[in-house]
Amino acid sequence: MENVHILTQRLTTRGDYLPFNAEQYINHEPQFAHRLVEKLQTTLDIEELLNIYSEHAERITKLSGLQFHTALGAFELQGSDKQYTPFSFELDLNGEYLGKLVYFCQYQLSAAIKQKLQSIHQVLIYPLRNALMYQRVLQLATKDSLTGLYNRSQFNDSLAQRIENGRRHQRKFSLMLLDLDNFKQVNDNFGHKAGDEVLIEFSNILKASIRTTESVYRFGGDEFAILIDDPEFVTNKLIAERIMHSVGHCKLMSKYGVTTSIGFTLAEGADCEENIFARADKGLYKAKAAGRNCARAI
């Protein structure tokens, strides 16, 4: 029978098992912590922080995945395999709740491993807090405060980037413009609070109707846009039908008699931002002229 070498070690004081490579970490913990601090201070990107941190956490235990859940959303280590057992740790700094750090591991975490992970959490929380503050500032600059959708400024940047990517990599996309039919009467007859409720509900419908590769934007008022990865009009039509179906079956929209008109167009090789926007806008105008509550392509 061949010899079998088990790459774990027993801690005599606790009776727990740690991975073999954890011995180096334990013996040189101050040096590793110092190097981790230096690396974490090089970025304000949360996913990059998770990547840097995971390399050090791997010295303590084998990870299959790592997530960080916050009020701003969930951030994930690239390539995470979430089929294994999750182990969650709440992170806070001086009473300020930052979020929940979730490890995915094939094997159970012993008490000793958990203790070691919690010790390096103290190194992670300050860079994470700074990254979260930076993320909030970015959202204020790029997000609509009422709906949480991207704003017009972000749309302009995204549209220009899509056009450039299309030219370089032959990646086609389309632009969809939408507005709400009879929205003005909601504000006039029921007040702006009711109007805000309609806008929020419509925003939720849009977010639920798209794939992860699409992005939704609010220009202001009841005007919205969606950038869609689509070499043809197939995806546009499916998304438009999905949106109109959801609006038609929404109790809040029906209560106020609100529907949506949609115009969309496919980007062409020679397009600039003004050209593609003008065509989609023309499609929206055609939908209005056709009696509203419909979609038209240009």
Cα–Cα distance list, 258 to 16, 188, 224 (Å): 63, 13, 15
The Cα–Cα gap between 261 and 295 comes to 6
- Residues 6+ away with beta carbon under 8 Å from 203: 147, 148, 149, 216, 218, 224
Contact 19, 6 (CB under 8 A): no
As given in the structure block, the two tokens for residue 275 are: 């050209």
* Active-site hit among 144, 179, 222, 271: 222
How many C-beta neighbours within 10 Å does residue 261 have?
Answer: 24
Phi and psi torsions of 286, nearest 5°: -65, -35
Q: Active-site residue 144, yes or no?
A: no
As given in the structure block, the two tokens for residue 96 are: 């300020």
Contact 263, 287 (CB under 8 A): yes
Half-sphere exposure of residue 84, counting CA atoms within 13 Å on the CB side? 18
Cα–Cα distance list, 211 to 11, 150, 177, 216, 259 (Å): 49, 16, 17, 10, 22
The Cα–Cα gap between 104 and 278 comes to 48
Q: Cite the active site residues.
A: 222
